[in-house]
Amino acid sequence: MGSVNALAKSDFPLLRRSVNGQRLCYLDSAATTPMPQAIGEKLQTFYAQSYSSVHRSVNSLGLETTNAYEHARSKVAKFINADPAEVIFTSGATASLNLVAESWGRENIHQGDEIVLAVSEHHSNFLPWQQLAQAVGAKLRLIKLNDQEELDLIQAKSLFNEKTKLLALAQVSNVLGSENPVAELISMAHQVGAICVIDGAQAIPHERIDVRQMDCDFYAFSGHKMLGPTGIGVLYGKKALLEQMPPAHFGGGMINYLDHGQATWEAVPEKFEAGTPNTVGAIGLGYAIDYLNKIGFKNIEQHNQELMNYLLPKLAANPGVKIYGQGQKLGVVSFNLAGIHPHDAATLFDQFGVEVRAGHHCALPLMQELGIPASIRASFYIYNDQADCDRLLEAIKQTQEFFNESC
Ligand code: PMP
């Protein structure tokens, strides 16, 4: 097998820096991806030349900003195969998921109703539903893991019934890295008349998303995990659903009419974007989409496959390594080292310049299901190469030697 090269490394100035005297080996992309230099530069130009208020001004700068913001919305819509009216800009996946819970959930989920979600959900797609269920007297029903530490479709089937109102599901787990059986679960949910909220935060950097083909009712993601800025995210919703939903937040830019006694709302998506939005974030997300389209998802998928094919057998061959989840990995690998606390391991990795994450990864119900307090998570993206895998493998070896000797 030939060596696995990065798809794009030189575009990312952050990756040229060193940490603790070592060249940075960045393996924390599932948390946040660095930004290509060209995107930062374009945003600088926007700040310097056009930055102004959006949707509220008839002056030239205001119009330029509004056009750039709406152009970004059109790019997002095309990127996920939606209509621009179905794309709501939010501050991130968390805000998108909470919006559905606060708006659709509050209107449609009542006492005795049931919400199905996976035990592996990130807290952002767990807590909004847990809190809603507690507030209205609904019940959460959890899809558990099978022997392969993947979602158990057989058990899942038994959870759906006429009381099920909503399925909340990550497309890709931020801990296991596996692609969940989204099509099968959406079909189960739709068969009983439930709507489907898909958390795409970990999927969208890795694969082409087509929300129509997926037939999800809502889809949420964040800009900062797909080479864009922080503080920007998207909620896609089917237009017919969005039109029926009440706004969750109130303020400027979202009313059609207002007097002392009443208010009527703007059409979607403005109805859901109260206050001055994150214009620069949305424009930056548009640039990130341009960048990803240029690289091409076929190349991104193939590169991930090659990296995982190189790394996983070597990791699995180490008897002191326990990998979580037996399925395919979309850039995310979680594991533990026998007898070594994940935080100790990650701290030592950092001394070697290898930046991973250790902890519960905002997925405590999954940690409880796996029977562990925490894990080490290494996550990869287009700028990683075989040398990064080797650095991780070497950091693991050195850490095992260090702790074995010091016992
Ligand atoms: N869902 C998943 C699967 C995630 O990995 C994350 C980020 N760790 C989120 C939701 C929340 O994203 P954000 O913090 O950008 O809102």
Q: Using CA atoms, how far apart are residues 371 and 322, in angstroms rounded to an integer?
A: 13
The predicted-structure confidence for 374-386, as pLDDT tens digits, reads as follows 999 999 999 999 9
What band does 53 get if pLDDT is binned at 50, 70 and 90? confident
Whether residue 264 sits in one domain with residue 375: no
Among residues 248, 266, 293, which one ends one of the domains?
A: 293
Q: Is the CB of 170 under 6 A from ligand 1?
A: yes
Average pLDDT over residues 185-189: 98
Q: Of the candidates 206, 200, 79, 172, which has an alpha carbon nearest to the alpha carbon of residue 87?
A: 79
Res. 118: pLDDT tops 60: yes
Tell whether 187 is covered by a domain: yes
pLDDT in tens, 240-291: 999 999 999 999 999 999 999 999 999 999 999 999 999 999 999 999 999 9
Q: Please check the confidence at residue 232 and state whether its pLDDT lies above 80.
A: yes
- For residue 57, the model assigns a pLDDT of 75
Work out which ligand 1 atom sits closest to the CA atom of 96: 16
Asked whether the beta carbons of 323 and 338 are under 8 A apart, the reply is: no
Q: What tokens appear for 149 in the block? A: 């530490």
The CATH number given to whatever domain includes residue 141 is 3.40.640.10
286, 301: one domain = no
Looking at the fold, whether 143 and 172 belong to one and the same domain comes out as yes
Is the predicted pLDDT of residue 405 greater than 80, yes or no?
Answer: no
Strand 321-323 to strand 332-337: parallel, antiparallel, or no bridges (unpaired)? antiparallel
Residue 33, domain member (yes or no)? no
DSSP helix, strand, coil percent of the chain (3-state; round to 5): 45, 20, 40
Query: In this structure, are 270 and 303 located in the same domain?
Result: no
**Whether the CB of 122 sits within 6 Å of ligand 1:** yes
pTM (two decimals)? 0.97
Task: Say which of 216, 362, 389, 407 is annotated catalytic.
Answer: 362
Question: How far is C-alpha 45 from the geometric centre of its chain's CA atoms?
Answer: 28
pLDDT at 407 over 60: no
Which CATH number fits the domain that encloses residue 359?
Answer: 3.90.1150.10
Tell me how far the alpha carbon of residue 300 lies from the centroid of ligand 1, in angstroms: 20
Q: What is the model's pLDDT at position 55?
A: 80
* Domain span including residue 220: 50-293
How confident is the prediction for the chain on average, in pLDDT? 96
Query: Is 63 within the bounds of a domain?
Result: yes
Q: Please provide residue 15's backbone torsions phi and psi, each rounded to the nearest 5 degrees.
A: -75, -5
Q: Please report the pLDDT score of residue 406 as a whole number.
A: 56
Boundary residue ending a domain (267, 293, 319): 293
> What whole-number distance in Å separates Cα of residue 249 and Cα of residue 140?
25
Same domain, 146 and 133: yes
- Of 293, 316, 332, which closes a domain? 293
In which residue are the tokens 């509050």 written?
A: 106
Long-range pairs for 144-147: beta carbons < 8 A, 24 or more residues apart: 144/119, 144/369, 145/119, 145/120, 145/369, 145/370
Helix (H) or strand (E) holding 72: helix 60-80
- Average the pLDDT over 203-222 and give the result: 98
Q: What is the CA(261)–ligand 1 centre distance, in A?
A: 39
Nearest to 369 by CA among 359, 382, 360, 357: 360
- Predicted confidence at residue 99, as pLDDT, reads 98
Mean pLDDT of the 305-319 span: 97
In a domain, 38, yes or no: no
The residue nearest atom 14 of ligand 1, judged by CA position, is 94
Q: Is the pLDDT of residue 327 over 90?
A: no
Q: Are residues 73 and 179 part of one domain?
A: yes
pLDDT surpassing 60 at residue 77: yes
Alpha-carbon distances, residue 358 vs 75, 165, 269, 364 (angstroms): 35, 35, 38, 13
Q: Does residue 286 share a domain with residue 301?
A: no
Q: Which two tokens stand for residue 232?
A: 């920007």
pLDDT bracket for residue 2 (50, 70, 90): low
Nearest to 300, CA basis, from 210, 206, 364, 365: 206
- For residue 263, report the phi and psi dihedrals to the nearest 5 degrees: -145, 145
Could you tell me the pLDDT band of residue 56, with boundaries at 50, 70 and 90?
confident
Q: Is the pLDDT of residue 119 over 60?
A: yes
- Residue 308 scores a pLDDT above 70: yes
Interatomic CA distance for residues 23 and 350, integer angstroms: 11
Which residue CA neighbors atom 5 of ligand 1 most closely?
A: 174
Distance, CA of 122 to CA of 242 (rounded, Å): 24
Report the atom number in ligand 1 closest to the C-alpha of 225: 15
pLDDT higher than 60, residue 1: no
Whether the CB of 168 sits within 6 Å of ligand 1 = no
Which H/E stretch holds residue 93? helix 93-100
Average pLDDT over residues 336-358: 97
The residue that leads in pLDDT, 58 or 22, is: 22
User: Which residue out of 89, 199, 222, 234 has the highest number of ligand 1 atoms within 8 Å of its CB and is therefore the one to mutate?
Assistant: 222
Are both 21 and 110 inside the same structural domain? no
> Known catalytic residue: 25?
no
Question: What total of structural domains would you count in the chain?
Answer: 2
